[in-house]
Amino acid sequence: MGVMVVLVPVAMAAAGMLETRKTEQRELVLGTRMKNRDLLNKSLVRAGWAVEEKDGVLKVEGGPDKQLTIHLNDESRTHDFRFVGDWTEEEAAELVSLIQEEYTLLLQEQVYRRLKERASTRGLELESEEVQEDHSIVLTYTVQGGP
């Protein structure tokens, strides 16, 4: 008897995850599905951005006429990206998409490690693992101690 686990990056759905709001102060707010602040912070750093955290808000250096702050949305419990200044909608969406891809890869790595660590305690032996073209990972386990 075997069990197959497939981890699929959700970055492909990132375009459908963005919620855009504009205000009069030349700001653009893009909502995301990213919940884990630590993974978000690591994603920003991995993508090459300098990040500072103050009062629960992540501040990203965007340049002299561009500010970016990332806030936890109390309603959805996800993070909103707030772009202020000379950001275009395309720049903002591209940056969020890039960070979402990094976040997704970090999340996938975290789940992958957790599955491998816990498998043996659950009576599973890793039979094979295969990385697909879309970066998903197929883990095939053999259930030990059958009837």
**Tens-place pLDDT, residues 108-136:** 999 988 988 888 888 888 888 888 888 78
C-alpha gyration radius of the chain:
19
pLDDT at 122: 85
Which segments of the chain have a pLDDT < 50? 1-4, 10-16, 23
pLDDT value at residue 116: 85
CA distance linking residue 73 with residue 75, whole number of Å? 6
What distance lies between CA 6 and its chain's CA centroid? 17
Phi, psi of 144, rounded to the nearest 5 degrees: -90, 155
Structural domains in the chain plus CATH codes: 2-143 (3.30.310.50)
Rounded CA gap, 119 and 109, in Å?
15
CA 34-40-42 angle, to 5 degrees, is: 155
What order of strands is seen across the sheet that includes strand 2-7?
A: 2-7, 137-143, 124-131
Q: What is the pLDDT of residue 23?
A: 47
In contact, 147 and 1? CB cutoff 8 Å: no
8 A C-beta contact, residue 54 and residue 70: no
